Amino acid sequence: MPQALTNAALISFLKENYASAGFIEGLKIKYRSLICPFINLLQHIKPGDKVGDVGCGSGQFLLLATEFAQPQSVYGIEISERLVGNARALFKKRANSDFGFSVYDGIHFPENLREMDILFLIDVLHHVGNKNRELFIKNLAGAMKPGARLVLKDIDKASPFVYFNKLHDMIFAGEIGNEISLAKAVSLLQKNGLRIVEQRKQRMYVYPHYSIVAEKEANE
């Protein structure tokens, strides 16, 4: 049985599994659930889902999924070979986990994504350049199987609190994000053949999040 979904449980679990992370990286990993709505995101996973994570980093969210949800398998892709290596090493320590990780170029998506029942895109879109954003979403939608769900979580450009996220990214990522509004993100997904199932805004401290659940139509 999965554990109860609470921030205290998420933080405790991440502390146990990322004990060797550096100080700054450790803070980002272990306490991110305090400023990012992981609990809401994890609740979208149905028992037996094949779960994909686009821009998976070192596997943090997928590790939480294996512990706090009941996926059949997890699969992550990332542009950094170092981060993919970290994720693979982390999951090799977990018994009976069906997992896979791949490096991709940030625009073209591996065929394995077509096996996923649900895909997560968490705080990735605002790191995609303005010129590549539409192609990124077009290719991602094209890589999904009919009936698959996409959960897009990002920062709302329409909120004045967006500048706190820009400062955050300058400090932790060394770049300024290309955030878009919830309305624009919805339009972008619809333009590429995805049906909006749910949308919500949620501010956590000074971070103005939105999340969208979209489904690829069966006749696409």
Q: Where are the domains of the chain?
A: 45-216
Cα torsion through 190, 74, 86, 121, rounded to 10: 10
Residue 5 has pLDDT above 80, yes or no: yes
8 Å CB contact between 54 and 119: yes
How much of the chain exceeds pLDDT 90, in percent? 81
Residue 197 has pLDDT above 60, yes or no: yes
Q: Which of 175, 176, 171 is nearest to 24 (CA)?
A: 171
8 Å CB contact between 51 and 74: yes
By DSSP bridging, strand 207-216 and strand 149-155 are antiparallel
What is the per-residue pLDDT for 18?
80
By DSSP bridging, strand 50-54 and strand 118-122 are parallel
The 3-state DSSP class for residue 15 equals helix
The average confidence (pLDDT) of the chain is: 93
- CA separation for the pair 216, 220 (Å, rounded): 7
In our burial notation (b when 16+ CB lie closer than 10 A, e otherwise), range 99-112 reads bbbbeeebeebeee
pLDDT single digits (tens) 16-66: 888 665 666 777 778 899 999 999 999 999 999 999 999 999 999 999 999
Which CATH superfamily includes the segment(s) 45-216?
Answer: Vaccinia Virus protein VP39 (3.40.50.150)
pTM to 2 decimals?
Answer: 0.94
What is the per-residue pLDDT for 10?
95
Q: Which two tokens stand for residue 64?
A: 């939480």
What is the per-residue pLDDT for 97?
83
pLDDT single digits (tens) 137-166: 999 999 999 999 999 999 999 999 999 999
